[in-house]
Chains A and B, each alone.
Chain A
Amino acid sequence: MPFYRNIAAKIALLPMIVISLTVFVGCIIYSFVYSLTNSKLVPVMNYVGFDQYERLFKQRKWDVAVENIFIYGFVFTIGCLIIGFLLAVLIDQKIRGESLFRTIFLYPYAMSFVVTGLVWKWVLNPTFGLENSMHMWGMTWFELDWLVNRDLAIYAVCIAAVWQGAGFVMVLMLAGLRGIDEDIWKSLSIEGVAKWKSYIFVILPMLRPMVVTAIVLIAAGVVKVYDLILALTSGGPGYATTTPAMYVMENFFSRANLGQAFAASIIMFISVVCILAPWAFYEFYLRNKYANN
């Protein structure tokens, strides 16, 4: 393809390309360079090699953060897909008041994570939340201490996140379901396939583009999760629900430990690239290749 083809479009894109290169690539290089220094409150060029990385991997807190992001990523993605798909299927049964239910289920998505976090913080708080209400109604056996239990707190975060994200997945799936040809349903019913079987083995594979879109959007939210946890648990109890993004922010702002924050953010960047690269390679390169053949 000659260089001067679509030259006007290329010129129009130039500012965007320059900004992306300087802001994104430039900042990544800057972060990496300063992650090799012992910068504290202000960035200083004081080379210490890979000391910051060594310290990072010795931190118990960083281990907890990495573990949490995997738990959160897994439960949040799976939870949203399953509940979102189920809601979509249920709404697809030609029910009465469909738009009302759709609005109700999608509504949480319109809220900011901070609001979601605060609401669930109050619901799950054992001293004045749901547990307390149940006790006052006489059900003293009821226990809901997830938020204050070190081992379960991260799952409480997942519940709040799924509550917010499931409605969005539902809308995507519903759009997909509406795009399924009526003839497919007719032939399925002539064959006498059970409804649940047709959803899982026939319809779901046809929704593949929707599922991929949903996963990509959810995954982007997983890596940068910060505000929800800050509002819901502030990383507590102790640091049981801390995440890599929180670790970076903490070292940047409250701990005056820039070198450590840069090192942690570079590790985050590398892990995202490691996860995304094979997928991008497949989506954009291999698939096109086969499609062209």
Chain B
Amino acid sequence: MKKFFSILLTIFLPLSFTNVSKAGGHMEAEVIHWWTSGGEQAAISEFAKAWEEMGNTWIDTAITGGDNARGTTVNRIIGGNPPTAAQFNVSKQFVDLVEQGLLQSLEEVASAEGWRDFIYPPELIETCEFEGEFYCVPVNIHSWQWMWINNDVYKQVGLPVPQTFEEFLAGAPKIQEAGIIPLALGGQGWQESGMFDVVASSIMGFPLMQSIYRDKDLDAFRDGRFESVLNTYRELNQFTDEGSPGRLWNDTTAMVIEGKAAMQVMGDWARGEFAVAGQEAMVDYSCVIPGKEKYVALGGDVFVFPKNDDPKVKDAQLAMASMMVNPTVQAKFNNAKGSLPMRLDVDTSAADACMQMGLDLIQNPDAIMRESDDWNTPAFTAAWGDIISEFRNDPNYTVAQVMDDLEGVLTSGL
């Protein structure tokens, strides 16, 4: 049945977007995004190519850094000169824009093309749906839940590749003795708190994480398991090097690739770095989802379409939204990006061993986890991340103090 549907959709969808594009004639679209690294550029140009093949013009406004790009988008919307489309993360980042009525509803194409039937996992629909209408297009899924491990290092010291943080900690002193940095961690706030959430989900499991991050349940927060996460995190940090503060994530990944370090916790975008270095998944390096219960997180990117007085712009926006979810475009885009597609009927034959692991896992609804920023505002996650980062860097900041400060954030109503 599923297969029948997907065949139907593959036939129907290209038709539907050619129809829309004919209706609009030649269209121009300016797109703001922050995809500037090699693999990212290749990915966004798949969108641009597909758009231009429809006979339209693509104006590329690439801005380095997600914060800067989002800032520019918001400023331009408020300043009355909105772009046609703009990138955000799967998160609460753009909720204010929806509530202020600044975004174009995509319901027209969404219901015509049946987005609710094929967007997978359905949690992605929740991100984009406000009062029964679609306001964003999810384009991919990125997950943080990975340990990237140099196999040679473990072979050299005669240890098996660790599958959990406990196993990693047990082997870390031996790696250190061999003169290798056990844990490569870039000391920037987002990397520190990103790794913290991976440690948290792998030790205390997603249900508990959900009751803390989403429900702000103080009993769950205080039941001892969160403290043990903090303790493990502090233990892990003994095994980093002193060059860590301020180091970029890709420089840190390079340390694992070169064998200067044994392991890095980083999202699946790190795979691109290994691929560029000519390394093969599971041969030269291992990707491990740590913990007994394995999760894949639903991070990723969406595009939103700011409202515009010009009706021609609206046509272009709807046509582009339809193009972005098209299975052929999705396949090309995600293969270039190294992320998982947002629908199951996409050709993923080019996937490597690590990507395949993610693809297998995401089919199981119990293995899908959400991240803090799916429920919380950027102000909340930033305040939370500040404390985690300070905890990592200040050895005098005790677990008890951190618990009190985190509780302050939980009850702040941010």
Contact surface of A with B, Cβ cutoff 8 Å: 40-44, 55, 58, 60-61, 121, 125-128, 145, 147-148, 150, 153, 233-234, 236-240, 250-257, 260
Q: Which residue of B lies closest to A55 (CB)?
A: B412
Task: State whether A238 and B379 are in contact (beta carbons under 8 Å apart), knowing that A127-B241, A148-B245 are contacts in the complex.
Answer: no
Q: Tell me the complex Cα distance, A257–B243, Å.
A: 32
B108 at the interface (CB under 8 A from A): no
B386 at the interface (CB under 8 A from A): yes
Residues on A with beta carbons closer than 8 Å to the beta carbon of B70:
253-254
7 CB contacts below 8 A, A to B, read: A40-B379, A42-B78, A127-B241, A127-B242, A236-B187, A236-B245, A256-B96
Which residue in B93, B97, B188, B408 is a CB contact (below 8 Å) of A42? B97
CB <8 Å contact, A256 and B242: no
CB <8 Å contact, A128 and B377: no
Q: Which 3 A-B pairs have the closest CB atoms?
A: A127-B243, A238-B393, A41-B96
Residues on A with beta carbons closer than 8 Å to the beta carbon of B246:
121, 233-234, 236-237
- Extra inter-chain contacts (14) besides given A40-B96, A127-B243, A255-B379, CB under 8 Å: A42-B96, A148-B187, A233-B246, A236-B245, A239-B389, A250-B382, A253-B67, A254-B71, A255-B382, A256-B93, A256-B378, A257-B377, A257-B378, A257-B382
Q: List residues of B (255-276) whose CB comes within 8 Å of A's CBs.
A: none
Q: List residues of B (220-247) whose CB comes within 8 Å of A's CBs.
A: 241-246
Q: Mark B70-91, 1 if CB is under 8 A from A, else 0.
A: 1100100010000000000000
CB <8 Å contact, A42 and B243: no
CB <8 Å contact, B243 and A150: no
B347 at the interface (CB under 8 A from A): no
Which residue in B242, B245, B405 is a CB contact (below 8 Å) of A60? B405
B19 at the interface (CB under 8 A from A): no
B254 at the interface (CB under 8 A from A): no
Task: State whether A237 and B393 are in contact (beta carbons under 8 Å apart), knowing that A41-B97, A148-B243 are contacts in the complex.
Answer: yes
B314 at the interface (CB under 8 A from A): no
CB <8 Å contact, A150 and B379: no
B399 at the interface (CB under 8 A from A): no
Residues on A with beta carbons closer than 8 Å to the beta carbon of B95:
41
Task: State whether A61 and B386 are in contact (beta carbons under 8 Å apart), knowing that A41-B97, A42-B97, A257-B379 are contacts in the complex.
Answer: yes
Q: Tell me the complex Cα distance, A209–B379, Å.
A: 46
The count of A-to-B residue pairs whose CB atoms sit within 8 angstroms is: 92
Most buried by B among A43, A239, A251: A239
Task: State whether A239 and B386 are in contact (beta carbons under 8 Å apart), knowing that A127-B243, A148-B243 are contacts in the complex.
Answer: yes
A163 to chain B, nearest CB (A): 19
Residues on A with beta carbons closer than 8 Å to the beta carbon of B405:
60
Residues on A with beta carbons closer than 8 Å to the beta carbon of B390:
60, 238-239
Q: List residues of B (96-114) whose CB comes within 8 Å of A's CBs.
A: 96-97, 100, 102
A260 to chain B, nearest CB (A): 7
Residues on B with beta carbons closer than 8 Å to the beta carbon of A44:
100
Q: Which residue of A lies closest to B396 (CB)?
A: A150
Residues on A with beta carbons closer than 8 Å to the beta carbon of B100:
42, 44
A264 to chain B, nearest CB (A): 13
CB <8 Å contact, A254 and B382: yes
Residues on B with beta carbons closer than 8 Å to the beta carbon of A153:
245
Task: State whether A253 and B71 are in contact (beta carbons under 8 Å apart), knowing that A150-B393, A260-B379 are contacts in the complex.
Answer: yes
Residues on A with beta carbons closer than 8 Å to the beta carbon of B242:
126-127, 145, 148
Q: Tell me the complex Cα distance, A250–B377, Å.
A: 14
Residues on B with beta carbons closer than 8 Å to the beta carbon of A257:
377-379, 382
Q: Which residue of A lies closest to B392 (CB)?
A: A238
Q: Which residue of B lies closest to A147 (CB)?
A: B245
B394 at the interface (CB under 8 A from A): yes
Residues on A with beta carbons closer than 8 Å to the beta carbon of B78:
42-43
B279 at the interface (CB under 8 A from A): no
CB <8 Å contact, A240 and B393: yes
CB <8 Å contact, A126 and B243: yes
Q: Tell me the complex Cα distance, A221–B378, Å.
A: 30
CB <8 Å contact, B68 and A42: no
Q: Tell me the complex Cα distance, A260–B71, Å.
A: 16
